[in-house]
Structure 1
Amino acid sequence: MNKAYYAKKGLFVGITSIICSFYFFAPTFFTFKSSLIKQSGAIEFVKIFYSSVESSRGSKSIKSELKFTLNSTRNMYVLMKNIGQSRYNERFEKLKKQLEKPGRVSVWIKKNQQTEYKPTVFQITKGNNTVLYDFDEAKSQSRLGFLISFGFGIFGVGLFIKHKYSTQIKKLFKV
């Protein structure tokens, strides 16, 4: 077993995981309410789509997407969730019924995404500020992904450091 080879691979995987955690998950995870803007209007279109997705290893699951538009913007708002083998997303179905009821809806997005066609949705309220989709619910999906990816990255970099500097580490902790 060539430890140097695996240490270098660990470093590569670790750095890649850390970069991915900051690129894919951090922008949502580290968003604050003060950086959001509210867009309001009546629901123009709302629908749930279910599609089969396959991982690179061949395992299949179902992805659900709740898509809706407001009459006051040109944005398409999308909420997405992998629901495993289930063919029904109870949370999105309930949210769709609430959105279909007449009344004004407010959607909170990042200020710098207001010109994007599909901005990230952080909160949805209806009427007299009844919260349908909460800020914490939006961030919770990124929290787990960020922590796993970042932790895996630290492990990979740590593996390299342990191999490369094991004698110095032993001397440092020798009493």
Structure 2
Amino acid sequence: QKERANGKFICSDIFETKFDKHFDLVICHDVIEHIADKQRLLSRVSELLRPEGMAFIGFPAWQMPFGGHQQICHNKYISKMPFIHLLPAAIYRFILKIGNEKANCISEILAIKEHRISIEQFERVVISSGLKIKNRSLYFINPHYEIKFGLKPRLLPNCISGLRYLRNYFSTSCFYLLQR
């Protein structure tokens, strides 16, 4: 927790912490793809928001080239292999093992595969949790890539962002503003 003149910033496990008030803003950035029970997470976010409060949720679409977070691998070839995470789990595990990845890395990578999230799945969970989508931005070039790689952020063109399922392969980052 850090106290500020205009408010308080809390970095906490949303499932374990007891909060004594509601919030204007809840931020979950690059988190939901690691959570098994997405419905529980978004329901909890909804409970914590003031009626006029907003939640920012950002995540990489599962099917995008590095949606499996394989860039965390230590093997220089595996870490640069786009779409490898879309292989069946047994084949993916085998490749990670022959690439000499450590057991904890393999475990993390396979957990992300198990907990993956697509744009369509996320939007279904939002609706079933009682939240409303106030704004959505799907990025072809993730805003973080400007700092990491010197690439300018680019929104996914409307002609692709409107194509269900296909847009998941091109959305490197999905930003949502949600409200109760």
- If the TM-score is normalised by the length of the shorter chain, which range does it land in? under 0.3
Q: Give the helix-richer structure, 1 or 2.
A: 1
Q: Give the strand-richer structure, 1 or 2.
A: 1
TM-score (norm 2): 0.22
Which of the pair has more CA radius of gyration? 1
TM-score (norm 1): 0.22
The structure whose RCO (Cα within 8 Å, separation 6+) is larger is: 1
